[in-house]
């Protein structure tokens, strides 16, 4: 068992329902352009789920209803400025998207795109995030 300390980040997994179909919205990372979900460090004065909702707004221009409970977690190595890495555990909250803003803080830095669940699974790299997306239709509140 690893004794390495993991930092915690909070993330929103944005989704929408199109009839019986669930889609997820992914964004590109700033450094490599890979597909990820909006996430960030804890924000003083905000609950974990509210911090995740704020990240979704800043990084993807999304407004919606976020769960107040964690629907899953995944680990990854966050690359810091200067090239070093820190292991992170990301606690994920489901965000049902109500509105997509036409302009938002990071619109010039990222792309955003809707994916079907299987397409979303293939787009992300983290195995635990892949599993979470794959199971989303079974774990979402009705």
Mode of pairing for the β-strands spanning 39-40 and 35-36 = unpaired
Residue 20 counted as domain residue: yes
Q: Read off the CATH number of the domain in which 87 is found.
A: 3.90.79.10
Residue 1 counted as domain residue: no
Answer whether 75's CB lies under 8 Å from 127's CB.
no
Integer-rounded Cα radius of gyration of the chain: 14
State pLDDT tens for residues 46-86: 999 999 999 999 999 999 999 999 999 999 888 888 888 89
* pLDDT higher than threshold 60 for residue 2: no
Mode of pairing for the β-strands spanning 39-40 and 7-18 = antiparallel
Domain of residue 106 covers 7-139
Residue 85 counted as domain residue: yes
State pLDDT tens for residues 24-54: 999 999 888 999 999 999 999 999 999 999 9
Percentage of the chain exceeding pLDDT 70:
96
């Amino acid at each position: 068992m690893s004794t390495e300390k993991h930092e915690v980040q909070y993330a929103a997994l944005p989704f929408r329902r199109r009839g019986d179909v669930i889609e997820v919205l992914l964004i590109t990372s700033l450094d490599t352009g890979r597909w990820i979900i909006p996430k960030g460090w804890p924000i003083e004065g905000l609950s974990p789920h509210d911090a995740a909702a704020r990240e979704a707004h800043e990084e993807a221009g999304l407004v919606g209803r976020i769960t107040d409970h964690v629907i899953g977690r995944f680990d990854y190595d966050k690359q810091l400025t200067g090239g070093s890495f820190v292991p992170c555990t990301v606690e994920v909250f489901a965000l049902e998207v109500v509105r997509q803003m036409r302009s938002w803080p990071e619109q010039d830095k990222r792309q955003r795109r809707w994916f079907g669940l299987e397409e979303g699974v293939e787009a992300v790299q983290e195995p635990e995030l892949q599993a979470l997306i794959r199971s989303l239709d079974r774990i979402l509140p009705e």
